[in-house]
Each structure stands twice: as structure tokens, then as C-alpha cells.
């Protein structure tokens, strides 16, 4: 595993990555313009993404409206079906009661027929026994002729009445049986219709449940899209602020670059602001032994690897620290446990970093010349541990300082 040897790498990376927030001055105006172009491209992408989200939201709203209409229709159909089932059930019950009453009447009629049948049986038995002399005996046993005739007519009328009564009862039973069968058919029809409507109601309930699930899914999609739209809208606002800040930084950097060129031109400095031409020619920030080189360093005892993004030069505390080239102090900061840090912008995207220093005598945005003493090596708990940490950065990339410093 590779551990950072110090926090300066993270500090400087933070400054480079978030220069638009900190207003860093280590980038050239040309590089800032590249950032502006990049951010504008991102901004256009965000706006296009929001347009796409808006279209999708419109479609989702249409889907939600349609699903809501279907739900309302299903709810109405379910309500009507339930109402129809209640009505059919009531009719079914009424028919069932009518059929029961018919059964009672039929039973009553059958009882009457049985009684009538018994009466007729007795009369037939009587006629069978007395049939031959029935009329003569009736005459002889009568008080007079008129009484005899009356009795004979009475017997005939009674016989005819019983015959008609039986016919009427049979007719009534037949009518009741017919109506009963008719009512039973109606009951069967109503019962079948109720079953069909109940099945239809179950299907409607299932369709309603499915439609509710669809609507919930649509609303969930809408909520997610709206959340995403809000997020991207916030990003657009932040991006617009960033671009505005970058334009301000570019303007400020342009002025600084022009000022640096003017100062260098006025002082007729040999470097003329071209840092890259000084590769291998830069003077050392102080005299001392390099105790930690640039790059990956492996600890032989622990086996762990650390990365040093600069070099560490051993020097007594109080040793004066010099600028390796003319430039403008862009950043002065302090990190607990790592001391003071000064970053000097040399133009063209190149900067140098000086850390573990004290008694800084320059301010931010101040111009320094090559060889100017602007700080001292800070004291350490151990006198043998005092050192200067020195880094070189070019266009946001860490560079090996020993490749840029003049060979001793």
C-alpha cells in the first residue's frame, strides 16, 4: 500500500481540483479558458438532460392521467356490479320465498284432494253396495214423492260438485306446478347471473389492483425523475456560478500574467517568464542535503511504501529560503502538523511549493524575484529533523524537482 509522505500533495491537489472555489492562481488564463469551455460543455449536457427529464415527466403525467381514468372507470364498474349483485340476490331470495309458498299451497291442495278422494271412495263404495236399488229405496224411504225427487237430485248435485271440485283442485295444482317450474327456472337464471357477476367483480378487482400497482410505479418514476431534475437544476446553478467565477479568475489571471510580463520586461530578467526554459538551471531554494527523494520510497523494516511528491532538504532551523524563480505568491496557508506553506506562481501553469517554513515576509499576490529570501526553515522537535519540503508543479502535474534544479 502507498501512503502519502506528507499532506502537501493532498493540499495542492485540492487547490488544483477546486481552484474555482479557492480562486487559485496557479493556472494560466489559457488553462482557465479550457476549464470554462469544459464547464460550458457540462452545463449544456445538464440542460439537455433536464429537457429529456421534462419530456419523460410529460409522458409519465399522461400515463398517470390515463391510469387514473381507468381506475375511476373500474371503480364505477365494481360499484355497479356490486349493486347489481345485491339486487339479483334480493330477487333470488324473493323467488325462493315464492317457490316455498307454492310448495305449501301444493301440499294444501294435495291434502284436499286426499280428503276428497276419501269421500269419493266412500260414495263409490256406497253406490256399489246400494247402486241397484238406490233410486227405488230412496223413493220408498221418502215421506212423499217430492221428498224422494229432492233426495235424488241432491245426490246428483253433490256428485257433480265433488267432481268439479276435484277438477278445480287438479287444475290449481297443475297451475302451481307450472308456475313453480317457471319460478325455479328464474331462480336458476338469477343464481347463474349472480355467479357470473361475482366472477366479473373479482376480475374487476384484480384489474383495479393491477392498475393501482401501475399507477404507483408511474408515481414512483415521476418522483425519481423530479428528484433527479431538482438535483440537476441545482448542479446547473452551481455550474453557472462556477463559470462566472472562472471568468473572473481568468480576468484576474490575465491581469497578473500581463503584470508579470511587464515587471519582467522592465527588470530585463533572463527568464522572461518561460519556466520550462529553466529546466535543469533553477537555483536551489537553500543549501542542504536531500534526505528524501521524489517518488515511491519503500521502508525496509516495515515493507510499507510512501510517495513523496517533492523532495526534503535537510537544513538547520532559521535557514533562509529563497525563490527559485521570479513569480507571484499565489497562496500562503497553514496545515496543523505540517507548518506553513507558500506557493509561488511562475506563469505558464508552473508553480513551486515551499513547506515546513516560518517567518514568512511576503504576502499573497506579491511579486518576488529569483533569489529573493521570503522565509526561514521552521524549528522542529528534533534539531536533526528540521527540513524544507520543496515541490514543482507544471500544469497540475507533480514534477521531480531534481530535474529542474541545477546540479550541485
Please report, for the domain that includes residue 91, its CATH number. Answer: 1.10.287
pLDDT band for position 30 (50/70/90)? confident
The 3-state DSSP class for residue 211 equals helix
pLDDT band for position 231 (50/70/90)? very high
Task: Determine the average pLDDT of the residues in 320-342.
Answer: 88
pLDDT of residue 11: 44
Question: What is the Cα–Cα distance from 12 to 164, expressed in whole angstroms?
Answer: 125
pLDDT of residue 113: 72
Candidates 297, 319, 322, 324; CA nearest to 308 is 297
Question: What is the Cα–Cα distance from 18 to 9, expressed in whole angstroms?
Answer: 14
Contacts of 232 (CB under 8 A, 6+ apart): 46, 49, 50, 53
pLDDT of residue 16: 39
Task: Determine the average pLDDT of the residues in 26-55.
Answer: 86
pLDDT of residue 360: 96
Same-domain pairing of 74 and 207: yes
% helix, strand, coil for the chain, step of 5:
65, 15, 20
pLDDT at 149 > cutoff 60: no
Task: Determine the average pLDDT of the residues in 47-76.
Answer: 92
186: containing domain: 57-227
In a domain? residue 302: yes
Domain count, the chain: 2
pLDDT at 332 > cutoff 60: yes
pLDDT band for position 342 (50/70/90)? very high
Same-domain pairing of 222 and 275: no
Task: Determine the average pLDDT of the residues in 330-345.
Answer: 86
Mean residue pLDDT across the chain: 79
pLDDT tens by residue, 101-141: 888 887 887 787 777 767 767 765 665 565 444 444 544 45
pLDDT of residue 378: 93
In a domain? residue 72: yes
pLDDT at 320 > cutoff 60: yes
Same-domain pairing of 114 and 189: yes
pLDDT tens by residue, 185-209: 888 888 888 888 888 888 988 988 8
Same-domain pairing of 125 and 186: yes
Question: What is the Cα–Cα distance from 111 to 9, expressed in whole angstroms?
Answer: 116
pLDDT of residue 401: 96
Query: Which grid coordinates belong to 194?
Result: 349472480
The CATH number covering residue 289 comes to 2.70.70.10
Same-domain pairing of 285 and 211: no
Specify the DSSP element, H or E, that contains 349: none
Task: Determine the average pLDDT of the residues in 346-360.
Answer: 91
In a domain? residue 276: yes
**334 or 180: whose pLDDT is higher?**
334
pLDDT of residue 87: 87
In a domain? residue 17: no
Strand pairing report for 373-377 and 397-399: unpaired
pLDDT at 26 > cutoff 60: no
| DSSP state string for 363-392 | -TT-EE-TT-EEEEEPP-SSGGG-EEEEEE
Same-domain pairing of 283 and 214: no
pLDDT at 225 > cutoff 50: yes
Amino acid at each position: 500500500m502507498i501512503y502519502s509522505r506528507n499532506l502537501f500533495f493532498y493540499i495542492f491537489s485540492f487547490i488544483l481540483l477546486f481552484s474555482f472555489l479557492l480562486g487559485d492562481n496557479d493556472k494560466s488564463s489559457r488553462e482557465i479558458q479550457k476549464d470554462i469551455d469544459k464547464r460550458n460543455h457540462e452545463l449544456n449536457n445538464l440542460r439537455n438532460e433536464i429537457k429529456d427529464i421534462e419530456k419523460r415527466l410529460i409522458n409519465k403525467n399522461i400515463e398517470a392521467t390515463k391510469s387514473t381514468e381507468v381506475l375511476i372507470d373500474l371503480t364505477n364498474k365494481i360499484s355497479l356490479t356490486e349493486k347489481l349483485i345485491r339486487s339479483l340476490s334480493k330477487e333470488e331470495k324473493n323467488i325462493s320465498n315464492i317457490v316455498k309458498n307454492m310448495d305449501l299451497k301444493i301440499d294444501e291442495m294435495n291434502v284436499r284432494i286426499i280428503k276428497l278422494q276419501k269421500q269419493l271412495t266412500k260414495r263409490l263404495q256406497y253406490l256399489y253396495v246400494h247402486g241397484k236399488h238406490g233410486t227405488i229405496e230412496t223413493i220408498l224411504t221418502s215421506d212423499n214423492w217430492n221428498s224422494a225427487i229432492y233426495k235424488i237430485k241432491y245426490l246428483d248435485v253433490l256428485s257433480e260438485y265433488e267432481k268439479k271440485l276435484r277438477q278445480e283442485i287438479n287444475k290449481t295444482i297443475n297451475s302451481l306446478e307450472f308456475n313453480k317450474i317457471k319460478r325455479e327456472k328464474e331462480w336458476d337464471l338469477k343464481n347463474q347471473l349472480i355467479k357470473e357477476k361475482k366472477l366479473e367483480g373479482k376480475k374487476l378487482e384484480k384489474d383495479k389492483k393491477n392498475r393501482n400497482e401501475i399507477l404507483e410505479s408511474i408515481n414512483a418514476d415521476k418522483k425519481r425523475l423530479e428528484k433527479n431534475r431538482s438535483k440537476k437544476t441545482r448542479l446547473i446553478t452551481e455550474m453557472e456560478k462556477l463559470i462566472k467565477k472562472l471568468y473572473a479568475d481568468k480576468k484576474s489571471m490575465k491581469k497578473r500574467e500581463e503584470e508579470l510580463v511587464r515587471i519582467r520586461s522592465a527588470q530585463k530578467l533572463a527568464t522572461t517568464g518561460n519556466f520550462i526554459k529553466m529546466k535543469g538551471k533553477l537555483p536551489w531554494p537553500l543549501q542542504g542535503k536531500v534526505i528524501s527523494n521524489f517518488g515511491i520510497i519503500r521502508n525496509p523494516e516495515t515493507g510499507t511504501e510512501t510517495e513523496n511528491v517533492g523532495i526534503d532538504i535537510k537544513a538547520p532551523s532559521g535557514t533562509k529560503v529563497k525563490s527559485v524563480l521570479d513569480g507571484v505568491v499565489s497562496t500562503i496557508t497553514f496545515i496543523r502538523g505540517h507548518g506553513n506553506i507558500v506557493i509561488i506562481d511562475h506563469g505558464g501553469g508552473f508553480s513551486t511549493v515551499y513547506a515546513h517554513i516560518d517567518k514568512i515576509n511576503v504576502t499573497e499576490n506579491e511579486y518576488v524575484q529569483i533569489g529573493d529570501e521570503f522565509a526561514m526553515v521552521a524549528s522542529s522537535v528534533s534539531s536533526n529533523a528540521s527540513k524544507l519540503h520543496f515541490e514543482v508543479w507544471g500544469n497540475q502535474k507533480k514534477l521531480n524537482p531534481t530535474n529542474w534544479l541545477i546540479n550541485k
